[in-house]
């Protein structure tokens, strides 16, 4: 196995989304499920410790003039795109008959569904409890993911019952089955923190 590229205490540039941020390497490890990959716990400079996270080595760049130039270029391109999207979306709002204060936007410009501030806060709080304080959620949970998906499917099927075409009901059922399989497959690999896997 090749040696680690960065040592604890190193200043690096880390990708977070489409941008590069200044970060400091806190820890390094090789995980049992992926022995070919180096993982680093990093702290984003200027950000609260709750934003510290573990990232793959492929998301880190050395702190050098070439990568600093790349960081500036990505930030300026992102700001230009953001300005263009804001101008475009404002124009669409003004000209679209369907827009207005009574309608909520369902998707962001990129097509992703927004998480909402409440869900983001809950995810960050969970991460803090698990990683910093080594607390685990009691198992089995009061409501399982399977029960949650079944309840959601039932509510969607009730709404779709008014539609004479059964295709919509089949689509909802297939989507929930796919989510259930996806959750079962990804839970042990990417949805659990290291301390949670021992349960």
Whether the link from the prior residue into 188 is cis, omega within 30° of 0, is no
Asked whether residue 22 carries a pLDDT value surpassing 90, the answer given is yes
pLDDT band of residue 165 (cuts 50, 70, 90) is low
* Contact indicator for 42, 52 with CB cutoff of 8 Å: yes
Residue whose tokens read 């999207």: 85
Instruction: Read off the pTM.
Output: 0.43
d(CA 182, CA 190): 11
pLDDT band of residue 38 (cuts 50, 70, 90) is confident
Could you give the 3-state DSSP secondary structure of residue 2?
coil
Residue whose tokens read 């990093």: 42
In the chain, the percentage of residues whose pLDDT exceeds 90 is 20
Distance of CA 139 to the CA centre of its chain: 24
pLDDT at 68: 94
């Amino acid at each position: 196995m090749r040696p680690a590229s960065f040592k604890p205490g190193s200043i690096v540039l880390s990708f977070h989304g489409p941008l590069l941020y200044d970060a400091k390497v806190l820890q390094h490890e090789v995980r049992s499920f992926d022995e070919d990959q180096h993982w680093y716990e990093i702290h984003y400079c200027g950000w609260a410790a709750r934003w510290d996270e573990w990232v793959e080595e492929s998301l880190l760049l050395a702190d050098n003039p070439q990568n600093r130039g790349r960081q500036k270029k990505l930030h300026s391109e992102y700001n230009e795109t953001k300005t263009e999207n804001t101008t475009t979306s404002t124009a669409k709002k003004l000209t679209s008959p369907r827009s207005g204060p009574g309608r909520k936007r369902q998707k962001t410009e990129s097509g992703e569904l927004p998480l909402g501030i409440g869900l983001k806060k809950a995810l960050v709080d969970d991460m803090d409890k698990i990683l910093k304080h080594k607390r685990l959620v009691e198992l089995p949970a009061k409501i399982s993911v399977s029960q949650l998906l079944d309840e959601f499917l039932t509510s969607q099927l009730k709404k779709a019952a008014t539609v004479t075409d059964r295709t919509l009901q089949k689509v909802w059922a297939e989507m929930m089955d796919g989510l259930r399989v996806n959750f079962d497959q990804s839970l042990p690999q990417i949805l659990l923190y290291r301390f949670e896997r021992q349960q």
